[in-house]
């Protein structure tokens, strides 16, 4: 059965870490569309979250998604209360990397990117995952899952 938008999780139902990942992705997309340097626009939020050292790696991962994605990646607008499917997938990738489940992370990236881009994006998102752990921002079970 295919999930509909009403099955998509609410941003308010995410952990702080889940909301951070969604905020970062949406902010990157918004900055890119506005012609602003996305990495610079993320600086304050990443610093406040304690994940500042991962900002550039995350911005580069998002730039790779933007240029090399195999399918259109649709992110929500900053005020959307729903977590879009690609945002859920991004949360699941980062959660897998926080738990050192590298194969799962690569499987989640497969289909989004060409094979030659997978290791580099995985490593960039692993940097984010590690910095989030250091900042006490672990993703929780259920972050990014659809409602039953």
Any domain includes 145: no
Any domain includes 84: yes
CB of 25 closer than 8 Å to CB of 87: yes
Query: Among 145, 106, 142, 146, which residue's Cα sits nearest to residue 125?
Result: 106
CB of 131 closer than 8 Å to CB of 54: yes
pTM above 0.75, yes or no: yes
CA gap 78, 98 in Å, rounded: 25
Any domain includes 93: yes
* % of the chain residues with pLDDT over 70: 92
Integer-rounded Cα Rg, in Å, for the chain is 14
Any domain includes 2: no
Any domain includes 118: yes
Q: Please tell me the predicted confidence (pLDDT) of residue 148.
A: 34
- Please name the residues in contact with 80: beta carbons below 8 A apart, sequence gap of 6 or more: 11, 26
Q: Has residue 35 got a pLDDT over 70?
A: yes
Phi, psi of 132 (to 5 degrees): -65, -40
What are the pLDDT digits (tens) for 49-59? 999 999 999 99
Any domain includes 25: yes
Q: How many domains does the chain have?
A: 1
Q: Has residue 142 got a pLDDT over 90?
A: no
What are the pLDDT digits (tens) for 49-104? 999 999 999 999 999 999 999 988 999 988 888 999 999 999 999 999 999 999 99
Any domain includes 140: no
Q: Please tell me the predicted confidence (pLDDT) of residue 147.
A: 45
Domain that residue 82 falls in: 10-134
Any domain includes 23: yes
Q: Please tell me the predicted confidence (pLDDT) of residue 145.
A: 65
CA gap 129, 44 in Å, rounded: 18
Element (H, E) at 66: helix 55-68
- 5 or 39: which leads in pLDDT: 39
Q: Please tell me the predicted confidence (pLDDT) of residue 26.
A: 96
């Amino acid at each position: 059965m295919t999930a509909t938008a009403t099955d998509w999780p609410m941003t308010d139902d995410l952990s702080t870490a889940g909301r951070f990942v969604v905020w970062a992705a949406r902010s990157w997309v918004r900055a890119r569309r506005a012609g602003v340097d996305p990495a610079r626009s993320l600086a304050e939020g990443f610093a406040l979250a304690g994940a500042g050292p991962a900002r550039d790696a995350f911005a580069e991962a998002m730039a790779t998604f933007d240029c090399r994605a195999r399918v259109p990646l649709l992110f929500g607008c900053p005020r959307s209360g729903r977590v879009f499917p690609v945002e859920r997938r991004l949360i699941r990738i980062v959660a897998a990397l926080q738990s050192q489940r590298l194969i799962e992370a690569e499987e989640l990236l497969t289909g989004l990117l060409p094979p030659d881009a997978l290791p580099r994006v995985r490593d960039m998102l692993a940097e984010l995952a590690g910095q989030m752990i250091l900042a006490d921002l672990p993703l929780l079970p259920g972050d990014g899952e659809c409602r039953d």
